[in-house]
């Protein structure tokens, strides 16, 4: 087999599975073998019932009794399993057919997560195993993959196993270098990451694969850098009087870090060399205005600017902001290029970009991939650059475009690492937050506090503010008991209605939900209504995480906080505290654990992204296999800039030597 072959050529992968795998971005054999497990399951001996503790993932074996099923809004099946030491309750939601599979008085083996259910322990959504099947599973670690509905970890691991025997992985690291730096062979690393015997083996495999991820990334950066040194500035911009005008119209003045950064940009764009600058600034430090000022200057000099963002929601929001400030007063034509538009609408926008009628175009990466031809693009802004990696800069070049580049990122990275990662760019850092901001007040609570939190949110809304509630999942799933956006929205609607009824009036809180599976047009509509204050509570998945700016929102509540990386939680929190009002962030825990408290306390005690990152690393230590991964940074699969800083340096040295 060849790495570039379609997965359809793998035995057992039919048209239907291929379509499902595409949802996980798996198209080729290479995509499949690089779809690494996100965790491993260790099947241990069943434990006696009296040794069960809250939060444990445990197997129990025994005889069942008291089998009942209820068919309310949630279909619940329960029974008790007894062994020599005691009995434990088993609970299934929305799996009514379970009742038919179980016979009271017979022995079964179950595995699931132990939760507290009032005064007793219960195992939620346990899976049933045959004895022999279970014994087999105990022999090795089982990979757990990121999945989509209709695809199981078992299916992926089977397919991987099939192709691994058939593929030669080209080894690009000399044996001496590998030996010296504890890097296993690439082919071994890939085999082991999927099917490790021990966690120690998995760690060693991971180390090699992380090195390769950094290596490839840094090679790309290096190429960009080498090309850059020859680049002449064809867009020399010297007149910035319009920017002074714009600054006068703003309701605030720039912080000194913002002002300094903009001065540097002016110098860049008026010099002989093309600009390639990275602005690093924590969430809410005010990077957008810098992009706007730079774009305005470029447009006034007769050129075009493009703003690239990672999500539709963010594109829409930037579009509205740019329009408001630049259209009327400065006669700048701003256009939005969105995935939600029809082909005909897009075509229209393409034309205005091509003939120069559009001055500034805002959109997702479709902006540089599709049939977009600029008349004279002089500036490309890449917002939330950490979501993109180097591909976008490369794509621009490949289109024959060579504009000034302004990248912006909210990932707090130590300067030494930034210099390696953004080796082809100059660096500006915005450390200072706008003056009027009040620090966000944080709390970490368990679900017993939920009603209090909901009441608190209601109070904020009645005083004119808005709130976000984040759930980890879109809809109900058998595999996870995390909160989901769709049911949660219904539940809190009920809750608020009841509360209002008790007070003798009708509830007026407007609640809507938002998630990534919705159509782009729907998402836009919801976001717009939230931004204009026509929705009070937005229940959302993390699609809301990046860049969204609604100043009037003062509460962020995150359900199942334990499931998110700290960096991601910090980004989510950054959605509030953007105006002059006191804002609040409520981290709701879905389960208990000392390590969970320790991690969340970092966020409770620090509002500064740098501090959060540092503390997070201190806690995890570099030996952590997957931890709770930092989300979406640089589109790496395994690498974590903090925890793997040593490998990043090593890869950087190696690239230099090459």
Q: What residue ranges bind Mg ion (CB under 5 A)?
A: 547
Q: Are 304 and 376 in contact (CB under 8 A)?
A: yes
Which of ligand ADP, Mg ion, none lies near 258, with the C-beta cut-off 5 to 8 A by kind? Answer: ligand ADP
* Per-residue b or e along 127-145, where b marks 16 or more CB atoms closer than 10 Å to that residue's CB: eebeeeebeebeeebbbeb
288 touches ligand ADP by CB under 6 A: yes
Helix (H) / strand (E) element for 307: namely strand 304-308
Q: Are 360 and 299 in contact (CB under 8 A)?
A: yes
Least Å from the CB of residue 578 to Mg ion: 10
Least Å from the CB of residue 254 to ligand ADP: 5
Cβ-proximal residue to ligand ADP, closest one = 286
- Please give the Cα distance from 75 to 392 (Å, whole number): 48
551 touches ligand ADP by CB under 6 A: yes
* Phi/psi at 182 (5° precision): 60, 45
Least Å from the CB of residue 547 to Mg ion: 4
Least Å from the CB of residue 258 to ligand ADP: 6
Helix (H) / strand (E) element for 648: namely helix 645-657
- Please give the Cα distance from 573 to 545 (Å, whole number): 9
Closest CB to ligand ADP among residues 191, 386: 386
Among 111, 194, 287, 386, binds ligand ADP (CB under 6 A): 287
Q: Are 364 and 309 in contact (CB under 8 A)?
A: yes
Residues contacting residue 657 through CB under 8 Å, at least 6 positions apart: none
Q: Which two tokens stand for residue 537?
A: 């509570």
Phi-psi region of 654 (alpha: psi -120 to 50; beta: other; left: phi over 0): alpha
Least Å from the CB of residue 430 to ligand ADP: 7
Q: Which two tokens stand for residue 274?
A: 């093309």
Place of tokens 């931004």: 531
Closest CB to ligand ADP among residues 248, 272: 248
Torsion sign over Cα 182, 186, 190, 191: negative
Closest CB to ligand ADP among residues 187, 288: 288
Residues contacting residue 335 through CB under 8 Å, at least 6 positions apart: 319, 349, 352, 353, 358, 360, 361, 362
Q: Which of these, 336, 204, 301, lies nearest to 623 by C-alpha position?
A: 204
Least Å from the CB of residue 317 to ligand ADP: 9
Report, in this order, helix, strand and coil percent for the chain, each rounded to 5.
40, 20, 40
Closest CB to ligand ADP among residues 496, 581: 581
Least Å from the CB of residue 415 to Mg ion: 21
DSSP 223: H
434 touches ligand ADP by CB under 6 A: yes
Cβ-proximal residue to Mg ion, closest one = 547
How many other β-carbons are positioned within 10 Å of the β-carbon of residue 599? 25
- Please give the Cα distance from 543 to 545 (Å, whole number): 5
- Please give the Cα distance from 242 to 249 (Å, whole number): 11
Q: Which two tokens stand for residue 542?
A: 């993390």
- Please give the Cα distance from 547 to 425 (Å, whole number): 22
Least Å from the CB of residue 553 to ligand ADP: 11
Least Å from the CB of residue 422 to ligand ADP: 17
Which of Mg ion, ligand ADP, none lies near 578, with the C-beta cut-off 5 to 8 A by kind? Answer: ligand ADP
285 touches ligand ADP by CB under 6 A: yes
Which of ligand ADP, Mg ion, none lies near 281, with the C-beta cut-off 5 to 8 A by kind? Answer: ligand ADP
Among 286, 412, 472, 632, binds ligand ADP (CB under 6 A): 286
Least Å from the CB of residue 165 to ligand ADP: 48
The contact pattern for ligand ADP, residues 396-425, with x = CB under 6 A and - = no contact, is: --------------x---------------
Closest CB to ligand ADP among residues 98, 379: 379
- Please give the Cα distance from 631 to 514 (Å, whole number): 19
HEC-encoded secondary structure of 624-641: CCCCCCCCCHHHCCCCCC
Task: Name the one range near ligand ADP by CB under 6 A: 100-108, 160-168, 276-284, 372-380.
Answer: 276-284
Which of Mg ion, ligand ADP, none lies near 570, with the C-beta cut-off 5 to 8 A by kind? Answer: none
Least Å from the CB of residue 96 to ligand ADP: 46
Q: Are 477 and 124 in contact (CB under 8 A)?
A: no
158 touches ligand ADP by CB under 6 A: no
326 touches ligand ADP by CB under 6 A: no
Task: Name the one range near ligand ADP by CB under 6 A: 208-216, 248-256, 354-362, 476-484.
Answer: 248-256
469 touches ligand ADP by CB under 6 A: no
573 touches ligand ADP by CB under 6 A: no
Strand order in the sheet with 334-337: 334-337, 360-363, 304-308, 377-382, 404-409, 276-281, 426-430
Which of ligand ADP, Mg ion, none lies near 97, with the C-beta cut-off 5 to 8 A by kind? Answer: none
How many amino acids of this chain bind ligand ADP (CB under 6 A)?
19
Among 70, 252, 391, 497, binds ligand ADP (CB under 6 A): 252
283 touches ligand ADP by CB under 6 A: yes
Least Å from the CB of residue 585 to ligand ADP: 15
- Applying CB under 6 A, the residues found at the interface with ligand ADP are 252, 254-255, 258, 281, 283-289, 410, 434, 436, 547, 549, 551, 578
């Amino acid at each position: 087999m060849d790495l570039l072959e379609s997965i359809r050529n793998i035995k057992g992968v039919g048209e239907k599975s291929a379509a499902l795998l595409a949802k996980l971005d798996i198209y080729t054999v290479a995509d499949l073998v690089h779809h690494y497990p996100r965790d491993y399951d260790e099947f241990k001996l069943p434990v006696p019932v009296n040794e069960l503790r809250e939060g444990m993932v445990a197997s129990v074996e025994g005889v069942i009794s008291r089998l009942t099923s209820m068919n309310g809004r949630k279909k619940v099946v329960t029974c008790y399993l007894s062994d020599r030491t005691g009995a434990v309750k088993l609970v299934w939601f929305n799996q009514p057919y379970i009742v038919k599979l179980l016979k009271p008085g017979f022995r079964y083996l179950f595995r699931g997560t132990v939760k507290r259910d009032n005064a007793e322990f219960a195992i939620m959504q346990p899976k049933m195993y045959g004895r022999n099947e279970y014994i087999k599973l105990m022999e090795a670690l089982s990979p757990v993959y990121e999945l989509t509905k209709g695809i199981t970890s078992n299916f992926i691991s089977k397919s991987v196993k099939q192709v691994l025997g058939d593929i030669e992985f080209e080894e690009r690291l000399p044996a001496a270098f590998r030996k010296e730096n504890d890097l296993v062979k690439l082919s071994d690393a890939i085999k082991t990451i999927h099917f490790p015997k021990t966690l120690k083996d998995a760690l060693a495999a991971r180390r090699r694969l992380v090195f390769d991820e950094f290596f490839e990334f840094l090679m790309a950066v290096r190429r960009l850098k080498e090309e850059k040194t020859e680049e002449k500035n064809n867009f020399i911009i010297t007149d910035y009087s319009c920017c002074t005008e714009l600054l006068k119209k703003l309701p605030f003045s720039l912080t000194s870090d913002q002002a300094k950064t903009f001065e540097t940009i002016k110098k860049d764009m008026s010099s002989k060399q093309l600009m390639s600058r990275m602005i690093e600034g924590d969430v809410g430090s005010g990077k957008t205005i810098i992009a706007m000022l730079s774009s305005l200057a470029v447009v006034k000099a007769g050129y075009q600017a493009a703003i690239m963002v990672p999500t539709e929601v963010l594109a829409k929001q930037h579009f509205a902001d740019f329009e408001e400030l630049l259209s009327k007063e400065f006669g700048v034509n701003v256009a939005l290029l969105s995935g939600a538009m029809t082909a005909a609408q897009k075509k229209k926008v393409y034309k205005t970009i091509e003939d120069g009628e559009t001055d500034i175009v805002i959109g997702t990466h479709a902006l540089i991939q599709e049939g977009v031809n600029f008349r004279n693009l002089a500036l490309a802004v890449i917002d939330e650059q950490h979501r993109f990696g180097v591909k976008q800069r490369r794509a621009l070049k490949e289109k024959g475009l060579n504009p000034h580049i302004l990248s912006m990122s909210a990932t707090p990275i130590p300067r030494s690492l930034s210099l390696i990662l953004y080796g082809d760019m100059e660096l500006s850092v915005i450390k200072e937050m706008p003056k009027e901001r009040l620090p966000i007040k944080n709390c970490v609570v368990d679900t017993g506090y939920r009603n209090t939190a909901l009441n608190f949110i209601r109070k904020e809304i009645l005083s004119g503010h808005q709130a976000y509630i984040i759930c980890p999942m879109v809809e109900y799933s058998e595999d996870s008991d995390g909160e989901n956006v769709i049911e949660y929205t219904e539940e809190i609607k009920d809750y608020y209605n009841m509360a209002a009824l008790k007070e003798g009036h009708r509830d007026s809180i407007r609640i809507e939900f938002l998630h990534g599976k919705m159509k782009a047009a729907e998402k836009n509509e919801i976001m717009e209504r939230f931004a204009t204050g026509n929705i009070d509570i937005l229940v959302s998945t993390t699609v809301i995480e990046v860049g969204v700016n609604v100043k009037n929102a003062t509460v962020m509540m995150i359900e199942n906080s334990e499931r998110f990386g700290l960096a991601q939680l910090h980004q989510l929190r950054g959605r509030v505290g953007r105006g002059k009002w006191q804002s609040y962030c409520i981290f709701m825990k879905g389960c208990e654990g000392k390590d969970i408290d320790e991690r969340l306390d970092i966020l409770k005690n620090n509002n500064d992204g740098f501090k959060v990152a540092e503390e997070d690393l201190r806690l995890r230590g570099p030996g952590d296999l997957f931890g709770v991964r930092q989300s979406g940074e640089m589109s790496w699969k395994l690498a974590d800039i903090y925890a793997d800083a040593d490998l990043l340096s090593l890869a950087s040295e190696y690239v230099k030597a090459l």
